[in-house]
Amino acid sequence: MKTKVPAPLDKISRPLLRWFHARARSLPWRDDPRPYYVWVSEIMLQQTRVAAVMPYFTRFIAALPDVSSLAAADDDALMKLWEGLGYYSRARNLKKAANLIMEEHSGVIPKDFDALLKLPGVGRYTAGAISSIAYDARTPAVDGNVLRVVARLTASREDILRDKTKRAVEDALAVVIPKDAGQFNQAMMELGALVCLPRAARCDECPLAALCRAHAEGLETELPVKTPKKERRVEARTVLLIEQDGRFAIAQRPQRGLLAGLWELPNFAGEKNRAEILALCKRAGLSPKSVRRMKAARHIFTHIEWHLSGWHIRLSDALKGSLREPPASYDAAPLPPLTWAAREELSAVYSIPTAFHAYMPTS
Ligand code: SF4
């Protein structure tokens, strides 16, 4: 069945590309769009702004300059490069995908959309972006920016969070996408990032204003239609900064779920009071010489909001000895298995997510 292309999408490519060539921001992965750079930058840009990604991208590429070095990267070193960028599963998926590229594609990032889709961490948007930007394949790359721009251009009231709407936009753009597909896709994204902004569209600067139906009908602020997101779940947690002789207890999170496999300060569901903390120390065989409440903090994930309280527990000298291993008197129930790290190791060796930064020891 022939795809119906809503007006004015069949007329946008020329004015859009002219504008993009004059206004495009210089970005390292744009100035040198080799497939590896495009892939790494697209993964970093998922959920993260360009300005925040820049220093991470530069550091990442300097440390792991190609697919083979990424495939061989040490997990802790990889997490260290990603520390602070959030959504750590992206880094783990990058490495898994690099291994798959080495094994199944002789180290060459595939050009084909369906082959790209098989890589861990690569969805339809990212596959379209890599194949078009790195290889000029005529595949659309439809992200939130592009959906917004298209909804406004066509004055569409379809909910842009629905898969059906995304597919319809992909199908329509696949018909109109020009030969320089990578430039076209980047121009659409750039227009959404710089001009057709979510809250205040800058229609007077827009190269497509004369074609735009939302602008003609005064609907810029009403569109696009989005179903309201579910509220975040709020969870109270108590974080422990356990210190002995200048070393601090950390634990590794399970390999699945939130912040999988990363290191953390020991923490528990619920807000614990002093009596409960003292009881926990007793059950774990710890002899605190001081227990001090730390300031409250918050950390927001996509679907969960942590409301954190913290306690700084200084242990008496009774537990001196092998600081790398948890003392034999700890049992698994009150505390997870602990590793002890010096202050410098906490920042230089272990990847501790920003969720715990409010409770990290300061120098
Ligand atoms: S004219 Fe305004 S609403 Fe239409 S695409 Fe341009 S910036 Fe967006």
List, as one string, the DSSP characters of 196-237: B-SSSB-GGG-TTTTT-HHHHHT-TTT-SB-PPPPPPEEEEE
Q: Which of 355, 352, 354, 358 is nearest to 249 (CA)?
A: 352
Q: Which of 107, 78, 118, 112 is nearest to 95 (CA)?
A: 78
In angstroms, the Cα distances linking 163 to 143, 169, 213, 232, 252 are: 12, 10, 23, 22, 36
Distance 203 CA to ligand 1 centre (A): 5
Q: Say whether 42 is catalytic.
A: yes
Higher per-residue pLDDT: 88 or 62: 62
| Helix ranges restricted to H, the chain | 13-23, 28-31, 35-45, 50-63, 67-71, 75-82, 89-104, 113-117, 124-135, 144-153, 163-176, 181-194, 213-217, 274-283, 343-348
Distance 208 CA to ligand 1 centre (A): 7
The two most distant CA atoms of the chain are separated, in Å, by 78
Distance in angstroms (rounded) separating the CA atoms of residues 101 and 78: 18
Instruction: Provide the 10 A C-beta neighbour count for residue 345.
Output: 14
What's the predicted TM-score (pTM) here?
0.72
Tokens of 317: 């000298």
With 50 as the cut, is the pLDDT of residue 148 above it?
yes
Distance 210 CA to ligand 1 centre (A): 9
pLDDT for 249-299, tens place per residue? 999 888 888 888 889 999 988 999 999 999 888 888 888 999 999 999 999
**9-217 CATH, one of 1.10.150.120, 1.10.340.30, 1.10.3470.10, 3.40.50.2300:** 1.10.340.30
Determine which residue's CA is closest to atom 1 belonging to ligand 1: 209
Ligand 1 pocket residues where CB is under 6 Å? 149, 152-153, 195-196, 201-203, 206, 208-209, 212, 214-215, 220
Distance in angstroms (rounded) separating the CA atoms of residues 86 and 74: 18
334 confidence band (pLDDT: 50, 70, 90): low
pLDDT for 294-318, tens place per residue? 999 999 988 899 999 999 999 976 5
Higher per-residue pLDDT: 4 or 65: 65
pLDDT of residue 2: 75
Q: Pocket of ligand 1, candidates 152, 154, 219, 223: which has the most ligand atoms within 8 Å of its Cβ, to mutate?
A: 152
Share of the chain above pLDDT 70, in %: 94
pLDDT of residue 363: 60
Mean pLDDT over all residues of the chain? 91
Atom of ligand 1 nearest to the CA of 203: 2
Determine which residue's CA is closest to atom 2 belonging to ligand 1: 203
Length of the chain (residues): 363
With tokens 């750590």, the residue in question is 88
1 confidence band (pLDDT: 50, 70, 90): low
Distance 199 CA to ligand 1 centre (A): 12
The domain segmentation of the chain, as residue ranges, is 9-217, 233-359
pLDDT of residue 14: 97
233-359 has CATH 3.90.1150.10 classification: no
